[in-house]
């Protein structure tokens, strides 16, 4: 089976983006297989895998991979137009989660071709060989969230819920963000608490994974994710994940391990406000911090070699 991914080189240069991370991992896993050959020219391929939208039309089968649709902004209809066109032209669709399919069905319309639900994946075996970062607290929570550009990550709620939980010997390490992000005075007061350790800046995998390997749990309360790489990486490091009940994260947690707290109401029928996510009950989230500790994790459902096998199975179905 000969496959091609348009703009693969561009995505490799964007290695810390969701697309770049996944494509790099997927190609490495596919290259280990005897039944798949990755080709550099679309004309040589039997099948092309397109991320988000179809970038060329050559006489091959075309599979579209979708995580979500544009929403939460005034121009979402215009932004979704090329994705909608690609959905009408493809031979098959891979949604990254049931939640991703629900969002796409609502904002783009249901696909009229064969589809599959396949999570993102990470290198479980490779991560197990990474040396953990020295522990800074007796119990370590990690949160992966930018401070200002993505308020739907709910970093403020994570910080305040963690402090409300008041777990002896526990600390929260925040991975990502910018030191000059313009936090309010109240947020700065919480963020500079001695139990909070912000690690500012975009972190390459060789720095990020050691932090995940040394932690006891990950906290990810965003309600709008199609299949977040941060959560996949945490689960691949056998970290139980604390998450809200909306988005794709609870699907990942139920498949692999963690604790789901009921913080949100379904929102698929309205335009989500990404700049101002719904308020949560921090007392419920604080209890989640206590409950997630010690939960067992099985990373097999998001192991990249397993995920690559699911992709190949779907490709075979499309090729006939």
Give the model's pLDDT for residue 142: 94
Distance of alpha carbon 33 from alpha carbon 41, whole angstroms: 20
**What contacts 180, CB < 8 A, 6 or more positions away?**
none
First to last CA, the chain: 12
Per-residue pLDDT of the chain (320 residues; tens, 9 = 90+): 999 998 765 555 555 566 778 888 999 999 999 999 999 899 999 999 998 888 777 889 999 999 888 876 677 888 889 899 999 999 999 999 999 999 899 889 999 999 999 999 999 999 999 999 999 899 999 998 765 566 778 888 898 899 999 999 999 988 875 544 444 555 555 555 667 776 655 666 667 899 999 999 999 998 888 888 889 999 999 999 999 998 899 999 999 999 999 998 876 544 556 667 788 999 999 999 999 999 999 999 999 999 999 999 999 999 99
- 144 C-beta neighbours (distance < 10 Å), count: 27
Q: pLDDT tens digits for 11-40?
A: 555 555 667 788 889 999 999 999 999 998
Among the listed residues 252, 255, 260, the one whose alpha carbon sits nearest the alpha carbon of residue 225: 252
Domains and CATH numbers, the chain: 2-121+303-319 (3.40.50.2000), 125-302 (3.40.50.2000)
| Most distant CA pair in the chain, distance | 62
Among the listed residues 97, 143, 112, the one whose alpha carbon sits nearest the alpha carbon of residue 268: 97
**What contacts 36, CB < 8 A, 6 or more positions away?**
1, 3, 30, 312
Q: Is residue 69 within 8 Å of 108, Cβ to Cβ?
A: yes
Instruction: Cite the beta strand spans of 145-208 per DSSP E.
Output: 170-175, 196-199
Q: At what angle do helices 18-31 and 304-319 cross, to 10 degrees?
A: 80
> Rounded to whole angstroms, what are the CA distances from 301 to 32, 178, 290, 308?
19, 33, 25, 11
Give the model's pLDDT for residue 21: 80
Give the model's pLDDT for residue 181: 46
Among the listed residues 223, 314, 312, 318, the one whose alpha carbon sits nearest the alpha carbon of residue 273: 223
Q: Give SS3 for 154.
A: coil
- 205 C-beta neighbours (distance < 10 Å), count: 18
Give the model's pLDDT for residue 215: 97
Give the model's pLDDT for residue 271: 53
Distance from chain centroid for Cα 50: 18
Give the model's pLDDT for residue 177: 57
Q: Is residue 43 within 8 Å of 88, Cβ to Cβ?
A: no
Q: Is residue 257 within 8 Å of 235, Cβ to Cβ?
A: yes
Give the model's pLDDT for residue 269: 47
DSSP run (H or E) holding 38: strand 37-38
> Rounded to whole angstroms, what are the CA distances from 160 to 48, 50, 82, 164, 192?
45, 40, 40, 6, 12
Strand partners, 241: 218, 258
Burial of 182 (0-12, 13-18, 19+ CB in 10 A): exposed
DSSP run (H or E) holding 236: helix 229-236
Tokens standing for residue 252: 């990942």
């Amino acid at each position: 089976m000969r496959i091609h991914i348009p703009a693969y080189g561009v995505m490799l240069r964007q290695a810390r983006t969701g697309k770049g991370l996944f494509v790099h991992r997927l190609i490495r896993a596919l290259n280990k297989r005897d039944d798949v050959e990755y080709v550099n020219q679309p004309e040589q391929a039997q099948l092309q895998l397109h991320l988000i939208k179809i970038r060329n039309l050559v006489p091959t089968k075309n599979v579209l991979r979708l995580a979500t649709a544009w929403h939460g902004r005034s121009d979402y209809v215009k932004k979704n137009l090329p994705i909608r066109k690609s959905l009408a032209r493809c031979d098959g669709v891979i949604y990254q989660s049931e939640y991703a399919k629900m969002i796409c069905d609502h904002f783009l319309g249901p696909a009229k071709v064969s589809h599959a639900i396949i999570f993102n994946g990470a290198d479980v075996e490779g991560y197990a060989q990474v040396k953990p970062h020295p522990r800074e607290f007796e119990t370590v929570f990690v949160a992966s969230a930018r401070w200002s550009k993505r308020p739907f990550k709910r970093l403020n709620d994570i910080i305040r819920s963690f402090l409300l939980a008041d777990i002896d010997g526990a600390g929260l390490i925040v991975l990502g963000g910018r030191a000059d992000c313009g936090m309010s005075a109240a947020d700065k007061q919480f963020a500079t608490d001695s139990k909070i350790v912000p690690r500012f800046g975009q972190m390459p995998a060789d720095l990020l994974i050691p932090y995940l390997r040394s932690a006891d749990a990950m906290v990810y309360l965003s309600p709008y994710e199609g299949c977040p790489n941060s959560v996949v990486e945490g689960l691949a490091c056998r970290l139980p994940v604390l998450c809200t009940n909306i988005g794709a994260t609870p699907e990942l947690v139920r498949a692999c391990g963690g604790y789901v707290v009921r913080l949100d109401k379904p929102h698929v029928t309205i335009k989500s406000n990404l700049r101002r996510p719904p308020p949560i009950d921090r007392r419920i989230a604080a209890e989640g911090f206590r409950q997630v500790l010690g939960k067992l994790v099985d990373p097999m459902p998001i192991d990249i070699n397993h995920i690559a096998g699911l992709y190949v199975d779907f490709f075979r179905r499309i090729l006939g």
